[in-house]
Amino acid sequence: MRNKLKVLRAERDWTQADLAAALDVTRQTVNAIEKGKYDPSLPLAFKIGRLFEMPIEQIFFSGAEEA
């Protein structure tokens, strides 16, 4: 699964540590999600959606879909 977490984070001028703090996860987890090495759980995906005030399907999408 791909995502545009890095873009959304950069738009807000947040570091990975800032985002990790907001989501109550480690910075390594944010990094792994951004790089597509780890797909977050549904609760964490919803938490990310709430934080960026966007539906999760606008943040996460399958590899075949366009960003």
Q: Does 38 bind another protein (CB under 8 A)?
A: yes
Contact residue for another protein among 2, 4, 6, 18 (CB under 8 A): 18
Q: Does 2 bind another protein (CB under 8 A)?
A: no
Q: Does 53 bind another protein (CB under 8 A)?
A: no
Q: Does 24 bind another protein (CB under 8 A)?
A: yes
Task: Write the CB contacts of 59 (distance below 8 Å, at least 6 apart in sequence).
Answer: 3, 4, 5, 8, 45, 48, 49, 52
Q: Does 22 bind another protein (CB under 8 A)?
A: yes
